[in-house]
């Protein structure tokens, strides 16, 4: 059967239904389709949908100069947009779809009050994190516009983010040693490497999902963080070395699903973790673990370094992070090998 590829569409599922939008305009091509992905793609390939697709693509408007839409289009031509991780881009695209009805608004008419109202509407229509994604993409667009002289101010500056359900000081908290020992002892094979890479290398989920065996060179993991492009050669400390040596290499990626295939996405990896947390073996072995998260292991790694006496700048470097406290992060590469050596000397 010949596959029909429709370019320029955003296709995603939510609550068991499939949606398709024209990426550039946010125009809905179809929404609320019940069924599997293969069925939805077959539906999009029907003559009626192909005709609707052609009309939608041909009718894409050119944004009027000086409007929010023209600012968004300008921002999306810049490296700051292109350098975003795929996950962040996907979140921002969903936010832009929600913002589509406001794209004709003249930039001179947009003030902080309008941004606050947009945030409130997004919370009411969706949820707090979605509203914060709307603020983030708007702030990034206005920041780019200000840099290039399209606007004088960024109206998102000073607008408070919506409070998410996880907005507590204990969100992504540090794991206790007992919790870690209990979890790793009963973790299913497809999660052991995931947990090990988070705990003993401090990697983010988006990096764990894609890191390959060929990144392992001379006893170190050569990683370029997808979130910010920071590169580091993270030593494989003894606990992680034992985990990796026990792993089979049937996939290019180190982490693999229960089907012994690469995880298709970070979300799939996180779903595997959440499914494990719902199991009886987990709740029995770790009665305090209902709020444990994979990102909490990155926090645990950072806390471990703090306990060893390392300061904020060293911890940020070890996490492949960018912070103001680093003060000249582009020059820190020369010190990383010495940093890893000091960590090994103190920790093991």
Is the pLDDT reported for residue 37 higher than 60? yes
Contacts of 160-169 with CB under 8 Å at 24 or more apart are 161/119, 161/128, 161/131, 161/132, 161/135, 162/119, 162/122, 162/123, 162/128, 162/129, 162/131, 162/132, 163/128, 164/127, 164/128, 164/129, 164/132, 165/128, 167/128
Question: In the listed set 39, 61, 83, which residue is the last one of a domain according to the structure?
Answer: 61
Is the pLDDT reported for residue 176 higher than 50? yes
The verdict on 228 and 278 lying in the same domain is yes
Task: Give the per-residue pLDDT at 254.
Answer: 96
Task: Give the per-residue pLDDT at 20.
Answer: 78
CATH of the domain at 274: 1.10.443.10
Is-contact 266 205, C-beta < 8 A?
yes
The verdict on 265 and 119 lying in the same domain is no
For residue 1, with 0-12 CB atoms within 10 Å meaning exposed, 13-18 middle and 19 or more buried, which class applies?
exposed
Q: pLDDT class for 335, splitting at 50, 70, 90?
A: low
The verdict on 187 and 307 lying in the same domain is yes
CATH of the domain at 160: 1.10.150.130
Interior angle at CA 175, CA 170 and CA 181, nearest 5: 160
Is-contact 133 91, C-beta < 8 A?
yes
The verdict on 342 and 199 lying in the same domain is yes
Task: Give the per-residue pLDDT at 336.
Answer: 63
Q: pLDDT class for 81, splitting at 50, 70, 90?
A: confident
Task: Give the per-residue pLDDT at 330.
Answer: 27
Which domain, by its residues, includes 38?
1-61
Three-state SS for 227? coil
Q: Is residue 96 part of a domain?
A: yes
More confident residue, 335 or 133: 133
Question: How confident is the model over 242-299, as pLDDT tens digits?
Answer: 999 999 999 999 999 999 999 988 888 989 999 999 999 999 999 988 889 999 999 9
Is-contact 251 259, C-beta < 8 A?
no
Average confidence score pLDDT of the chain: 84
Burial 187-215 (b: 16+ CB within 10 A, else e): beebbbbbbbbbbbbbbbbbbbbbbeeeb
Interior angle at CA 54, CA 52 and CA 56, nearest 5: 70
Mean pLDDT of 6-14: 74
Is-contact 198 301, C-beta < 8 A?
yes
Question: In the listed set 120, 147, 167, which residue is the last one of a domain according to the structure?
Answer: 167
Phi-psi label, residue 56: left if phi above 0, alpha if psi -120 to 50, beta otherwise: alpha
Is the pLDDT reported for residue 318 higher than 50? yes
Q: Report residue 279 CA to chain centroid gap.
A: 26
Contacts of 304-312 with CB under 8 Å at 24 or more apart are 304/347, 305/343, 308/343, 308/346, 308/347, 309/346, 310/342, 310/343, 310/346
Q: pLDDT class for 325, splitting at 50, 70, 90?
A: very low
Q: Is residue 172 part of a domain?
A: no
Is the pLDDT reported for residue 234 higher than 90? yes
Give the residue from 102, 87, 166 showing the smallest Cα distance to 138. Answer: 102
Question: How confident is the model over 103-124, as pLDDT tens digits?
Answer: 889 988 899 999 999 999 999 8
Task: Give the per-residue pLDDT at 331.
Answer: 28
Is the pLDDT reported for residue 55 higher than 90? no
The verdict on 186 and 276 lying in the same domain is yes
Interior angle at CA 316, CA 245 and CA 220, nearest 5: 25
Among 1-10, 43-52, 194-203, 311-320, the minimum mean pLDDT is found in 1-10
Task: Give the per-residue pLDDT at 26.
Answer: 57
Q: Is residue 243 part of a domain?
A: yes
Q: pLDDT class for 334, splitting at 50, 70, 90?
A: very low
The verdict on 160 and 214 lying in the same domain is no
Mean pLDDT of 215-239: 91
Which residues fall within 8 angstroms of residue 259, CB to CB, at 6 or more apart? none
Is the pLDDT reported for residue 189 higher than 90? yes
The verdict on 211 and 155 lying in the same domain is no
The verdict on 266 and 145 lying in the same domain is no
Strand partners, 253: 212
Question: In the listed set 46, 61, 76, which residue is the last one of a domain according to the structure?
Answer: 61
Q: pLDDT class for 33, splitting at 50, 70, 90?
A: confident
Mean pLDDT of 93-109: 90
Sign of CA pseudo-dihedral 333, 337, 338, 342: positive
Task: Give the per-residue pLDDT at 36.
Answer: 82
The verdict on 305 and 195 lying in the same domain is yes
Is the pLDDT reported for residue 62 higher than 60? no
Question: How confident is the model over 127-163, as pLDDT tens digits?
Answer: 888 999 999 999 999 999 999 888 889 999 999 998 8
Q: Is residue 201 part of a domain?
A: yes
The verdict on 69 and 157 lying in the same domain is yes
Q: Is residue 32 part of a domain?
A: yes
Q: Is residue 123 part of a domain?
A: yes
Give the residue from 115, 135, 130, 101 showing the smallest Cα distance to 25. Answer: 101
Total structural domains in the chain? 3
Is-contact 230 322, C-beta < 8 A?
yes
Q: pLDDT class for 199, splitting at 50, 70, 90?
A: very high
Q: Is residue 44 part of a domain?
A: yes
Q: Is residue 332 part of a domain?
A: yes
The verdict on 161 and 291 lying in the same domain is no
Is the pLDDT reported for residue 16 higher than 80? no
The verdict on 26 and 71 lying in the same domain is no
């Amino acid at each position: 059967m010949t596959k029909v590829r429709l370019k320029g569409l955003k296709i995603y599922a939510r609550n068991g239904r499939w949606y398709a939008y024209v990426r550039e305009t946010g125009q809905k091509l179809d929404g609320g389709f019940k069924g599997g992905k293969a069925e939805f793609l077959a539906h999009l390939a029907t003559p009626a949908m192909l005709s609707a697709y052609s009309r939608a693509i041909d009718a894409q408007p050119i944004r009027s100069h000086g409007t929010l839409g023209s600012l968004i289009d300008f921002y999306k031509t810049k490296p700051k947009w292109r350098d975003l991780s795929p996950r962040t881009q996907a979140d921002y695209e969903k936010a832009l779809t929600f913002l589509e009805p406001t794209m004709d608004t003249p930039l001179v008419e947009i003030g902080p009050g309008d941004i606050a109202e947009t945030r409130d509407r997004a919370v009411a229509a969706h949820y707090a994190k979605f509203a914060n994604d709307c603020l983030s993409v708007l702030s990034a667009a206005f920041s780019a516009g200000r840099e290039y002289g399209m606007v004088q101010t960024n109206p998102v500056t000073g607008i408070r983010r919506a409070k998410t359900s996880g907005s507590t000081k204990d969100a992504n908290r540090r794991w206790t040693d007992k919790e870690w020992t209990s979890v790793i002892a009963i973790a299913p094979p497809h999660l052991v490497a995931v947990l090990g890479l988070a705990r003993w290398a401090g990697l983010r989920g988006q990096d764990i999902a894609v890191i390959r065996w060929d990144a392992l060179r001379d006893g170190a993991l050569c990683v370029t963080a997808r979130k910010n492009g920071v590169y580091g050669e993270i030593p494989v400390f003894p606990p992680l070395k034992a985990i990796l040596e026990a792993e089979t290499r049937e996939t290019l990626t180190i982490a693999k699903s229960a089907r012994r295939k690469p995880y298709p996405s970070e979300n799939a990896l996180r779903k595997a973790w959440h499914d494990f947390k719902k199991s009886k073996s987990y709740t029995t072995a770790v009665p305090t673990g209902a709020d444990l998260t994979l990102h909490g292991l990155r926090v645990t790694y950072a806390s471990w370094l703090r306990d060893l006496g390392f300061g904020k700048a060293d911890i940020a470097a070890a996490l492949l992070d960018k912070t103001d406290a680093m003060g000249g992060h582009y020059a820190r590469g020369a010190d990383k090998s010495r940093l890893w050596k000091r960590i090994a000397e103190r920790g093991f």
